[in-house]
Amino acid sequence: MIEVDDVYFSYDNYSVLNGISFKVKMGEVLAIVGPNGSGKTTLLKHLNGILKPTMGSVKVFDIDTRATKISELSRRVGLVMQNSDHQLFARSVSDEINFALKNFRFSKSEIDARTRKVLNEFGLYDLKDRPPLSLSGGEKKRLCIAAVMAWEPEIVMLDEPTVGQDAVNKKNLKEIIGQLSKNGRTVIISTHDLEFLWSINPRTIIIYHGKVLMDGSLRSISLNYDTLASANLIAPQLASLASGIGLSEPPADEAQAVEMIKQWQKA
């Protein structure tokens, strides 16, 4: 369980989080959405203890982040950074994956087994000797996620995973998120890409000016156009379509949209 309770945070004198509160259950997929500069990354960094609240409290697994070492929490709360180039540093794809495992003092045989496992799972085996920075954008993102998954944190946070990713990479990302969720991980995704979230339909928190503006399923909050617009977010296309033709329930995907439009034409 994650409990963010009335958290305030400022960089020097610049306040970013202004009394933000919410809870996350274990096993939940949560999207944190908001425009650029709304404090998403700052908030994620509070959940693994890199940043501590100026006021209020953050508890993860019942541990107050102010009362624990960063190393302890980061073992259980993995963060995949927005910019892969900021995360990657090792000489090879394999080394990138086993670096954290060595740090967390896994045994040699465990390190080898886990490295091999994620290389295979994330389709990186053939790239294992390549320098990480020579990979494509999508491969880099997969490697960043694989490197975090290797130590199996209970909570996986993906900071703006879709930025710079093409349609195929986004589809792969969705599959990875689905798989993580199926395996019981708690997944937290920060993004302003509501379109990407549509088929996942996670619980979604809109943050704006450092506070929670709305909290609900992605599809239900997507119907609140005025709120989305006031938070500088673009409504997903299927939500606009549903409202344009007066459907109370937005379609889950394009195929369902086509069916609904056919029904609507007949009526």
Ligand X SMILES: Nc1ncnc2c1ncn2[C@@H]1O[C@H](COP(=O)(O)OP(=O)(O)O)[C@@H](O)[C@H]1O
Give the residue with the Cβ less far from Mg ion, 41 or 98. Answer: 41
Q: How far apart are CA 18 and CA 175, in angstroms?
A: 34
Least distance (Å) between residue 179 CB and Mg ion: 24
Cα–Cα separations (whole angstroms), residue 142 to 84, 108, 227? 9, 24, 33
Give the residue with the Cβ less far from ligand X, 13 or 265. Answer: 13
CB atoms within 10 A of CB 20: 25
Q: How far apart are CA 184 and CA 63, in angstroms?
A: 20
Q: Is 81 in the site for ligand X (CB under 6 A)?
A: no
Least distance (Å) between residue 40 CB and ligand X: 3
The answer to whether 158 and 197 are in contact (CB under 8 A) is no
Give the residue with the Cβ less far from ligand X, 96 or 159. Answer: 159
CB atoms within 10 A of CB 136: 11
Least distance (Å) between residue 55 CB and ligand X: 17
Q: Is 206 in the site for ligand X (CB under 6 A)?
A: no
Q: Is 14 in the site for ligand X (CB under 6 A)?
A: yes
Where along the sequence are the contacts to Mg ion (CB under 5 A)? 40-41
> What is the DSSP code (8-state) at residue 251?
-
Q: How far apart are CA 77 and CA 109, in angstroms?
A: 24
**Per-residue x/- track, 21-60, ligand X (CB under 6 A):** -------------x-xxxxxxx------------------
Binding site for ligand X (CB under 6 A): 11, 14, 16, 34, 36-42
